[in-house]
Amino acid sequence: MDFISTRDPERTPSKFSDILLGGLADDGGLYLPIEYPQVDDATLTRWRAVLADEGYAALAAEVIGLFVDDIPAKDLRAICDRAYTYPKFSDKDIVPVTKLEDGLYIGHLSMGPTAAFKDMAMQLLGEFFEYELARRGETLNILGATSGDTGSSAEYAMRGREGINVFMLTPAGRMTAFQQAQMFGLQDANIHNVALDGVFDDCQDIVKAVSGDLEYKASRHIGAVNSINWARLMAQVVYYVSCWIRVTGGNGPKANNAEKVSFSVPTGNFGDICAGHIARQMGVPIDRLIVATNENDVLDEFFRTGGYRVRSSAETQATSSPSMDISRASNFERFIFDLLGRDAERTALLFGKKVKEGGFSLTGERIFADASAKYGFLSGRSTHANRIATIKDCWERLGVLVDPHTADGIHVARGVQELVATPIVCLETALPVKFSETIMEATGREPDCPERFEAILDAPRRVTDLPNDADVVKQFIDDNLA
């Protein structure tokens, strides 16, 4: 399996192990497989048996093995076995699925060490990094940006690992107290937290600017853990497969490979749902992919109108689902590349030039209709009031407590349910404990705190405040590598 950049018209091939450590392509594009591997009925039947008999880690090795041919299968299975273990993940199923109400399910992605769906990819990424760096005898300095959960998931996956340093940019004052405590409370010498004077998009822009300085990136061995890194999306494809298996009968007598399932996905950066797009393109029986946004609705606006209108930092609202307070969705480039028939030159024009000028429009173009008709996308948005009402209803009527991001997904799923003829799985984003203020507003009670998180809020903090300046961030990295 070879990989290409979304901006490279020459389709220069790269291997998985090479793009793993670099993250962003040198031309500023994002990596995708040169073609998506295809699964058939026999493969789906085998995957059902693997999940039932050997568990999630074994399924992960099967799915990921379709994309990775430069790591021996035995080593790949060991990597997956180390990443997806109990009790590191608090449920032996790793990603259990429960029924919320008729036609609506929850895929529980928050069983990991930081209680967020990002653990599903980060735990695997940590194992991949350590394996490949040891194989090459190299080191890696990870530069990342987070609007809430990516940072803690990355840091918990990388803390104490040989040959790896983490520099994580966070928007100052924009995360919940629990999210800040999870990250800033870490005292590991290889973890460096930065509170940037800006919003998430500013943090993400600095990551891209530093990665775009090819000389600096190479000399400091800079890598990425944000969802611009292909390995994260590849890991997330697995839980679309496992959720589909569980909803369609598992490995029992009622299992049905022809039955399709839809997914409602809270998203700001388009990474989580982009993995669903990839799974669907592979032939996993997925019907609809429902994009759920909050008030920062740049993605919903595109899927409704064809216009991709990025917002400035000043226009990006601080909401009660802060991990989605994003107005420039990096992973969206991967989908648009496919939507454009893999036209790398036009993709480079749209994302390398037009986005910097404020956005672009596909309104009126025939291909825009393909977003729904061919690729299955629907979309919707929620407000703070919608989230509060959804959390309250799920708790009081159904006895299920959800976080505000998952509430975005449930609210939007309910809004389009009449248009969708298949069961909808709402992908959980995080445990409610990470957003206690919103939960208290909705239900009048504090969310339960799992025992493993009880001491987090009391830990001393270790974080550096920096201005929104790429050169200052570079100097901070240099100072901490000296």
- State the CATH number of the domain containing residue 315: 3.40.50.1100
Q: Identify whether residues 214 and 270 lie together within a single domain.
A: no
User: Does residue 14 fall inside a structural domain?
Assistant: no
Under DSSP, the state recorded for 308 is E
In terms of residue numbers, what domain contains 214? 37-85+116-229+460-481
The span from the CA of 173 to the CA of 170, in Å, is: 9
User: Does residue 24 fall inside a structural domain?
Assistant: no
Q: Identify whether residues 297 and 367 lie together within a single domain.
A: yes
Q: Identify whether residues 186 and 262 lie together within a single domain.
A: no
Query: Which pLDDT does position 453 carry in this prediction?
Result: 82
- DSSP notation for 353-418: IIGGGTEEE-TT-HHHHHHHHTT-EEEEE--HHHHHHHHHHHHHHH-----HHHHHHHHHHHHHGG
DSSP alpha helix (H) spans, 137-259 = 149-158, 177-184, 200-212, 214-219, 230-247
pTM: 0.91
Q: Identify whether residues 303 and 334 lie together within a single domain.
A: yes
User: Does residue 329 fall inside a structural domain?
Assistant: yes
Q: Identify whether residues 224 and 240 lie together within a single domain.
A: no
The span from the CA of 46 to the CA of 59, in Å, is: 10
Q: Identify whether residues 388 and 471 lie together within a single domain.
A: no
Q: Identify whether residues 414 and 274 lie together within a single domain.
A: yes
Say how many Å lie between the first and final Cα of the chain, rounded: 38
Which positions are annotated as active-site residues? 118
Q: Identify whether residues 168 and 260 lie together within a single domain.
A: no
Query: Which pLDDT does position 179 carry in this prediction?
Result: 84
Closest CA to 148 of 185, 123, 180: 180
Cβ atoms 36, 67 nearer than 8 A: no
- What are the pLDDT digits (tens) for 372-401? 999 999 999 999 999 999 999 999 999 999
User: Does residue 121 fall inside a structural domain?
Assistant: yes
Question: Low-confidence residues of the chain, pLDDT below 70?
Answer: 148, 482
User: Does residue 408 fall inside a structural domain?
Assistant: yes
The span from the CA of 410 to the CA of 398, in Å, is: 13
Count CA atoms within 13 Å of residue 25 on its CB side: 24
Q: Identify whether residues 106 and 249 lie together within a single domain.
A: yes
User: Does residue 26 fall inside a structural domain?
Assistant: no
User: Does residue 71 fall inside a structural domain?
Assistant: yes
Query: Which pLDDT does position 162 carry in this prediction?
Result: 85
Q: Identify whether residues 326 and 264 lie together within a single domain.
A: yes
Query: Which pLDDT does position 482 carry in this prediction?
Result: 62
Domains: count for the chain: 2
Q: Identify whether residues 133 and 241 lie together within a single domain.
A: no
User: Does residue 450 fall inside a structural domain?
Assistant: no
Query: Which pLDDT does position 228 carry in this prediction?
Result: 80
Q: Identify whether residues 259 and 144 lie together within a single domain.
A: no
Query: Which pLDDT does position 229 carry in this prediction?
Result: 87
